[in-house]
Amino acid sequence: MLALLGAGGWRLERRIQPLQPQLAQARNPRLALPSARAVRALFLNYNGLAADVYWTRAVQYFGRQHLAHRNAYPLLWPLLRICQRLDPDLIAPAEFGSYFLADRPPLGAGEPHQAVQLLQRAIARHPNHWRLYFDLGFVYGLNLHQRRLAAAAFAAGAKRPGANPVLYTLAAEWYGQAHQDQLALALWRELYRSTANRMLRENARDHILQLETRIAMRQLEAVTAAYAQRYHRPPASWQQVVRAGLLPAIPLDPMGNAYLLRPQGKVGLNPATRLPWMKHALAKTP
């Protein structure tokens, strides 16, 4: 039966092959079998085999369109969707097909929302497959520019069994870009606590210092704003803030140097600090 099915599929492919250029150039090309139910019937419910055939067709279709320098991939999403419905346990269509879908033409189909849908369906079926969260995070971050969703995807993937610890790094970086400093700090601390890799620990330590300093500076500016509201003028020195009872002592940065108190109550790093990388990072922080 499998031999007959294979022969029939080969003959069908031979008939379809000459039509591929016309299908690719058509304005609204359609699949001959647009539903998974029809494909199951054709393949006598050998769904795994059918999914492999459709995944191969999706890769070939994407390759032909890309090599022909076309800016549209109208059949890519239908092929990948049918493939996933035929065999939800076949991860490749989501893991790799999502990149085909998400990138902007001519590199991809420019359909990142469909890529998200493909990955979310795969995650629902394989919740412990950390690479799917990795792919989802990049689609959210690079293609949809949704930084917080990207960070959340990376953070969820980092908690999966056997996940690469770099997901903690990615999650923390994207939370930082989304100005979610407390979430980013929690992830860097978790990475510092859990990893045995020396370079990752050093990188986490540096980011922890940077975030702790940035959070502290914002809190100090809230204190100077409270002083200005009480006395109708910004403080001229930290001693004034301490005498007002708003701080217990002159605030120090992680290296033990006093923070600068600038005009209008703005807070900066002391020039004597030995954290040049932190100065550069904070200079870019709004």
Domain residue extents for the chain = 1-126, 217-286
pLDDT at 113: 96
pLDDT at 241: 94
> Which residues 6+ apart lie within 8 Å of 169 measured at CB?
191, 200, 203, 204
Sign of CA dihedral 237, 242, 245, 246: positive
> Which residues 6+ apart lie within 8 Å of 144 measured at CB?
112, 113, 116
Q: Is the pTM of this model over 0.75?
A: no
SS3 sequence, 219-279? HHHHHHHHHHHHHCCCCCCHHHHHHCCCCCCCCECCCCCECEECHHHCEECCCCCCCHHHH
Name which of 33-47, 108-122, 204-218, 260-274 the model is least confident about: 33-47
Cα–Cα distance between 265 and 286 in angstroms, integer? 15
Residue 145: helix, strand or coil by DSSP?
Answer: coil
pLDDT tens for 108-155 read 899 999 999 999 999 999 999 999 999 999 999 989 999 999 999 999
Most confident by average pLDDT, 186-195, 227-236, 267-276: 227-236
**Between vectors from CA 155 to CA 280 and to CA 142, what angle results, nearest 5°?**
65
When the pLDDT of each residue in the chain is averaged and rounded to a whole number, the result is 81
Q: Answer whether residue 193 shows pLDDT above 90.
A: no
Most confident by average pLDDT, 26-35, 83-92, 192-201: 83-92
Cα–Cα distance between 239 and 57 in angstroms, integer? 73
Strand partners for 252: 258
pLDDT at 22: 44
Q: pLDDT-derived band of residue 195, with 50, 70 and 90 as boundaries?
A: confident
Q: What is the mean pLDDT of residues 271-280?
A: 61
pLDDT tens for 33-56 read 555 566 665 565 667 778 888 888
pLDDT at 275: 62
